[in-house]
């Protein structure tokens, strides 16, 4: 055999299993600047588009202005200066669901209100999240045996965070908001690769 000729059938590139986040990112081949980033370590801010989006989303959640019962009074307390939901970029309660990406279901969802709540949710643009606040919205609460009340708002729309209480204190409310922020932070591919740390 001619020693110059290389038998390509026996050549198999060794593929290292990606371990670090950077290697995993390289492995996808999605972002071509990764190699450049490796050469100039520290000069390029390296993230995924997902993580940037998540950060932007969780930093300015705009809730839709809707209150169904007494939990809405607590919602007002959360929005006011003492508890100050503006610390989380949420001070703008939008009057239109078209401009909102978060819905607090704050109160009793009656049978007659249920299709309206569902319609409000469907009018919100994606991505959207729902926080169910209080016993009534979670399970029907004290009205569980009633003919006129829906047994939990999760029967009609998907819920991300449930806040228990009747009604929940503003502190509980803020804890629920923090849980939702944690959830949004862990959405998408970036979180799967461990880039959300």
- How far is Cα of residue 120 from the mean position of the Cα atoms in its chain? 18
- The number of CA neighbours under 13 Å toward the Cβ of 56 is 7
Please tell me whether residue 160 binds other proteins under the rule CB under 8 A: no
Please tell me whether residue 148 binds other proteins under the rule CB under 8 A: yes
Which pair of structure tokens corresponds to residue 164? 């228990």
- Of 84 and 154, CB closest to other proteins: 154
- Of 24 and 118, CB closest to other proteins: 118
Please tell me whether residue 144 binds other proteins under the rule CB under 8 A: no
22, 70, 114, 191: which one contacts other proteins (CB under 8 A)? Answer: 114
Please tell me whether residue 154 binds other proteins under the rule CB under 8 A: yes
- The number of CA neighbours under 13 Å toward the Cβ of 159 is 20
Please tell me whether residue 118 binds other proteins under the rule CB under 8 A: yes
- For residues 143 and 43, give the distance between their C-alpha atoms in angstroms, rounded to a whole number: 59
The interface region with other proteins, picked from 65-73, 106-114, 127-135, 188-196 by CB under 8 A, is 106-114
How far apart are CB 150 and other proteins at their closest, in Å? 8
Of 74, 117, 65, which is closest to residue 92 (Cα–Cα)? 65
Other Cβ atoms less than 10 A from the Cβ of 3: the count is 5
Are 46 and 37 spatial neighbours (Cβ–Cβ below 8 Å)? Answer: yes
How far apart are CB 129 and other proteins at their closest, in Å? 16
86, 158, 166, 175: which one contacts other proteins (CB under 8 A)? Answer: 158
The interface region with other proteins, picked from 5-13, 62-70, 115-123, 178-186 by CB under 8 A, is 115-123
Which pair of structure tokens corresponds to residue 163? 């806040």
Which pair of structure tokens corresponds to residue 137? 């919205």
Q: Is 190 helix (H, G, I), strand (E, B) or coil?
A: helix
- Of 115 and 142, CB closest to other proteins: 115
Binding residues for other proteins (CB under 8 A): 111-112, 114-116, 118-119, 145, 147-148, 154-158
């Amino acid at each position: 055999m001619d020693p110059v000729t290389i038998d390509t059938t026996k050549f198999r590139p060794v593929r290292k299993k990606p371990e670090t986040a950077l290697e995993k990112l390289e492995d996808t081949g999605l972002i071509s600047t990764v190699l450049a980033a490796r050469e100039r370590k520290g000069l390029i801010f390296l993230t995924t588009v997902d993580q940037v989006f998540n950060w932007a989303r969780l930093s300015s959640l705009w809730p839709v202005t809707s209150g169904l019962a007494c939990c809405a009074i607590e919602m007002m307390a959360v929005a006011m200066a003492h508890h100050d939901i503006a610390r989380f970029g949420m001070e703008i309660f939008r009057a239109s669901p078209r401009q909102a990406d978060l819905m607090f279901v704050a109160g009793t969802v009656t049978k007659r209100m249920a299709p309206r709540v569902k319609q409000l949710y469907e009018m919100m643009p994606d991505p959207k999240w729902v926080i169910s606040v209080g016993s009534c919205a979670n399970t029907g609460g004290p009205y569980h045996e009633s003919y006129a009340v829906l047994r939990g708002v999760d029967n009609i729309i998907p819920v991300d965070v449930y806040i228990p209480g009747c009604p929940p204190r503003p502190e509980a409310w803020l804890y629920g908001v923090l849980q939702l922020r944690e959830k949004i932070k862990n959405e998408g591919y970036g979180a799967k690769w461990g880039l959300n740390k």
